[in-house]
Chains A and B, each alone.
Chain A
């Protein structure tokens, strides 16, 4: 049974007809790593935000359902929804530089969720936080707990954010481009760390990224998005072997190859974009008339 099930989710810019998400459906099983790929503006982050209930105020959901652990989130009153999301899901944010409160020490920022969500006493939460920091390979957790965010590097901060995302043992974590803001060398370590933590804790992961290389390393299944619509949803194996959709094929062809660094970059051809846009327009028409 799938742990996260999104059915027919549509969203638009508030007060306009401008679509942000078009009839998105996807399923993530417990413990599965599902990739959300697409260009900038394809709506991949918006899906993650919708699941966590942190959509920007300018975006409104018009139709559809988000089922988390068998519970339809959108039908719950806001306070209850927040409580439920807090207890079952967590976020690994994109930019570690803005994801920690600059005026608070690291310690309380990690223990907060243990205290808030699990209701642990502070002392116990602190012991656990130290263990978690050690688990994400942070040297001298004691010192780091007392530090302010600006005293630590981007990679360190991302490790802390990973530790605090896993802290309350959530069943689902949304990783919103967790390596985009980091150096290439650090990216690889962080990716490895996320995969390692995911395997150890058996957490389902919704992995938002524009990097197909990352998908091939971390994910088991994926959804390809364009213009807020799912173009193709399949397993990573099938996707890299025999992509079904024309856009997927073009996207794969556009990925630079390590084996041939001299080759010039291939953009997604205009004809493919036109075909995809025609498909979306047809979809919009069918909705209007159906």
Chain B
């Protein structure tokens, strides 16, 4: 027992890290497939209304109709099909808004943290001022001005959330910049920008990856919030937030209209954050 406890402990850690990574990546993989293949695998037309089929329960309950696996909402639209189509918007927003936010925020944070001086002063003050705005009101205001639509949602997320990256990356870059290897690179005649890209960036990258996946989760939530208050894309198109908003009104008669999109949203956001943690454990050079 005692003779092999050391190696046992180590392999257990590794297995748990792997499991977390696989579960979250698996769920997101399923979601991506669902979004891509929605027209072929969705059992019903997500927009088709039929008031005679309104509020059908999921298949395992009394009174269900075959073909409507997760039941229908009050207008008779198939919940499963709408979740599948809703994944499209959620994933597009997660990928595009997440990456853009990451790119802008991380670049500004890296420059502020490593170059310091007036660059840092300008960026840091901008972050301070930005963070004084209440984010949800800010995004609603933005969309009210720009008009609802996919581009507006993405812009709203980028404009609000870049500070999240900038702050953390700035702190990391400052810590790395104080290390002796940076001094050595400078003594060797490396320029500031080259040092920043070859010495600092690779060491900040694990943090950026974690932030990026967290941000993708947050983007999905923000999109759902905006759909919930009817500021996302047109109300006909299926969105998880929109489904939750509709399900809320009939929670006592038809719980499934609210619960299924809610669980999907929850699992997706959780998977994004766990994916980030898992990737970090895997690729951090010191933990590896």
Contact = CB atoms under 8 A, between A and B. Distances in A.
Given A99-B180, A101-B202, A90 B286 contact: no
Given A57-B116, A57-B117, A99 B189 contact: no
Interface string B155-191: 0000000000000000000000001110111111111
A1 to B, nearest CB: 24
A184 interface: no
Contacts of B185: 112
Interface stretch (A21-29, A67-75, A79-87): A79-87
Given A57-B117, A103-B202, A103-B203, A82 B186 contact: yes
A117 interface: yes
Contacts of B191: 79, 82
A150 interface: yes
Nearest to B205: A103
Given A102-B203, A103-B202, A103-B203, A82 B180 contact: no
Contacts of B179: 98-99
A284 B286 CA distance: 48
Interface in B264-287: 285-286
B189 A150 contact: no
B283 to A, nearest CB: 10
A38 interface: no
A102 B187 contact: no
A94 interface: yes
Contacts of A90: 187-188
B65 interface: no
B285 A112 contact: no
Interface in A242-259: none
A131 B189 CA distance: 23
Nearest to B120: A57
B246 interface: no
Contacts of B183: 49, 52, 54, 91, 93, 99
Contacts of B181: 98-101, 109
B188 A102 contact: no
B180 A117 contact: no
A53 B202 CA distance: 24
Between B117, B181, B185, B190, the greatest number of chain A beta carbons within 10 A of the residue's beta carbon is seen for B181
Interface in B194-243: 199, 202-203, 205
A148 interface: yes
Contacts of B203: 101-103
Contact of B285 (A94, A98, A102, A113): A102
A168 B180 CA distance: 19
Contact of B189 (A87, A98, A100): A87
A86 B188 contact: yes
The 9 closest A-B pairs by CB, nearest first: A86-B189, A99-B180, A93-B180, A103-B202, A98-B179, A101-B181, A91-B187, A103-B285, A113-B188
10 contacts: A52-B186, A54-B187, A86-B188, A87-B189, A99-B183, A101-B199, A103-B202, A103-B205, A104-B202, A116-B189
Given A57-B116, A116-B189, 4 more contacts: A52-B183, A83-B189, A101-B199, A116-B188
Interface of B: 116-117, 179-181, 183-191, 199, 202-203, 205, 285-286
